[in-house]
Amino acid sequence: MITILAEKPDQARHYAAAFDRASRKDGYFEVIDDLFNEPVFLTYGFGHLVELVEPAVYDPAWEKWSLNTLPMLPSHYRFCVPTDKQKQFAIVKRLLDRSDAIIVATDSDREGENIARSIITQSGNADKPIRRLWINSLETDEIRRGFAELKDGADFVSSYWEAQSRQIADWLVGLNATRLFTLLLRQKGLQGTYSVGRVQTPTLAMIAARQQAIENFKPEKFVEIHGDFQTDNGSYSGKLDQRFPSADEAEALLDQHGLAIGRPSPATVQTVAKKEKREASPRLYSLSDLQARVDKVYHIGPASTLAAVQALYEAKLLSYPRTDCNFITEGEFTYLSANLSSYLLLLGVELHNPEMNAKKRYVDGKKVQEHYAIIPTRNLPSAADLDALPATQRTIYQDVLANTAAMFYPPHVYEETIILTNAGGLIFKTQGKVERDPGWKILFSSEPDKDRPLPQVSEEQGVTTTLAQKEGVTTTLAQKEGVTTPPKPYTEGQLITLMKTAGRTLDAADEAARKTLAETEGLGTEATRSGIIETLKRQNYIVVRKSTVSVTKKGMLLCNVLSGSKLTSPAFTAEWETYLKKIRLHEGTQERFLSGIQRFIVFNGRSPQGPASVHRPAGRSGNSAVDGSLPALRPAGT
């Protein structure tokens, strides 16, 4: 007998629909299909059926928040099934107990592996043969292909150790740091709970740094000199590449060159440089890329975008959503090519000569690790089906459809022109572009190009200029008082990009950490970033008004208290991810990693008794290889 373990009911329902026969029972399905030559049961969790126990389970004294009980470092880590999930766990355990083999069919990532293996281990079945379903879509063909080509479960067990190590470490740091700083602030008369976390805290610190830069910004007045140049073919504007602290200094320079504000003067076109440029369509979407765009263009927040993309995935309209990849393989390109005309019909556009070659910018199997980019599936909705979707889902589906179809379009071609105009020996620069072929941009016609075309001019052509002082950065040729502007607050969508590119905020001295964060896609994962933003909202650390993010007094207070601590630096995550990767590659161990985490949370110089342990699946050891070490980490000032 075989038991297939899915992550949640909806996922199991899609699997069941792909089999020849699947009879629904209480908490599972009975499956009959030519893919299997023995009885098969398909069951599921509710995401995590198993979680770490509460602190008081280890020691009753840990139930009370007290500095005297810190740090809390269990000698081993225990897991339990929450009360509201015990019925389903009992069903899953009964089926696993009866099975000769298990197929892990949770989401194809490290957290999905953790969910499945935690259930299997808690049920006492970790010693049974395990195979792995690895798919990127819930389409019937993809599901059946995946079950026909199951992978060896042993190849993925280290992903479980990796994910479980992160889970325990986040629990340890969050638990101890939250209690410590909350209790210290209460001693200062500040009430409330101050949640601290390895990802949420540096994210909050980066938002706070931007807000402080805005608040501390000191505006400075400046003056620019712009010229309005008249020709027989029309007019154009140019700017002197120099700023002046006052109008008097600007006028003094003009006077030296025989020029004056508001007085027509002869000028000459010195050079006209034209260059044709070709702009390829955007890369295919990762989840972060999609969330950032949808927030910017449609003002739909990251959490709402993730929920919508998940719903479209479960409706078999989009591929797996929690991906950090911008590429697809030849297999996906083949079906996209075959369905292109149908996709274009849904978009209401035509393409007479599609570019049907697979370009490396989009199609590169070597760069597809766990999941490929977010693309439409083979399952095509009718126009009526599309109209019936909730507005957010419809908007996002159409945007993904357009972004995918764009790779079959020719590039956007435009001519960039730079004119240098000499007026009295001063050189004014004019830059503009003329569109030659909209190419893929026709798919996004609601986002017009705002560049103003320039008139035709030639070198040595005489023109007439009228100069004006221009203060600030306004776009009219009027004399107005202007000032330098502060950085803009982050939008909610920009937070996703900020987390993904967090390594760029580190100093040059942290080059190793910068490299690691670039390789691991920064803070959090595609699946968790929008959730982290929601956590910051719930903790009243940030507020979002009209998509603009600001830090509350509570959030700013916590950042000030933690200033200088590793807890506020993205480098902390880089150190974690460096070693977590070693665990996945069998080059490091969970025990060594958690020992380093324990050293970090020893706040008063007390050493832990030794590395804590967790239960291991039978037949595989977490101590197979040790190469390198996790640095001893200690908060600043302790």
Q: pLDDT at position 631, please? A: 32
**What type of residue sits at position 532?**
I
Nearest CA to 430 out of 237, 614, 266, 164 is that of: 237
How much is the pLDDT for 347? 93
Residue 161, judged by CB atoms within 10 A of its CB (0-12, 13-18, 19+), counts as buried
Helices (H), 224-359: 247-256, 287-298, 302-314, 330-338, 340-347
Q: Residue 453 above 60 pLDDT?
A: yes
pLDDT tens digits, 348-371:
998 989 999 999 999 998 888 778
Residue count (the chain): 638
pLDDT score for 524 = 78
What local confidence, expressed as pLDDT, does residue 514 receive?
57
Q: Position of tokens 């591929």?
A: 319
Tell whether the model's pLDDT for residue 474 goes beyond 50.
no
CB contact at 8 A, 246 and 223:
yes
- Which segment of 94-98, 162-166, 232-236 scores lowest on mean pLDDT? 232-236
- Model pLDDT for residues 48-82, shown as the tens digit of each residue: 999 999 999 999 999 999 999 999 999 899 999 99
The encoded tokens of residue 260 equal 């004056």
Q: How far apart are CA 114 and CA 170, in angstroms?
A: 14
Share of the chain above pLDDT 70, in %: 87
More confident residue, 107 or 632: 107
pLDDT above 90 (res 511): no
The overall average pLDDT reported for the chain is 86
Rounded CA separation 589/591 (Å) = 5
For the chain, helix (H) and strand (E) counts, in that order, are: 20, 17
Q: Which of 164-178, 191-205, 321-335, 449-463 has the lowest mean pLDDT?
A: 449-463
272 three-state secondary structure: strand
Whether the per-residue pLDDT at 342 is higher than 80: the answer is yes
CA torsion, points 292, 295, 298, 300, in degrees to nearest 10?
130
Residue 471 pLDDT level (bands cut at 50, 70, 90): very low
- Are the beta carbons of 417 and 274 closer than 8 angstroms? yes
Q: What is the mean pLDDT of residues 243-247?
A: 86
d(CA 102, CA 409): 45
Gap between the Cα atoms of 315 and 381, Å rounded: 10
Give Cα separations from 78 to 57, 111, 200 (angstroms): 9, 18, 25
Provide mean pLDDT across the span 290-309. 94
List Cβ neighbours of 545 (8 Å cut-off, separation of 6 or more).
Answer: none
User: How far apart (Å, rounded) are the C-alpha atoms in residues 325 and 153?
Assistant: 23
End-to-end CA distance of the chain: 56
pLDDT above 50 for 41: yes
Q: What is the pLDDT of residue 472?
A: 37
Rg (CA), the chain: 30
Tokens of 386: 């599309």
State the pLDDT at residue 331. Answer: 87
Of 193, 202, 180, nearest in space to 554 by CA = 193
pLDDT reading at 374 higher than 90:
yes
Band (pLDDT 50/70/90 cuts) for residue 624 is very low
| pLDDT tens digits, one per residue of 593-621 | 999 999 888 843 343 344 455 544 333 33
Mean pLDDT of 148-167: 95
Do 427 and 421 contact (CB within 8 A), yes or no? yes
CA distances (Å), 449 to each of 402, 412, 446, in order? Answer: 18, 11, 10
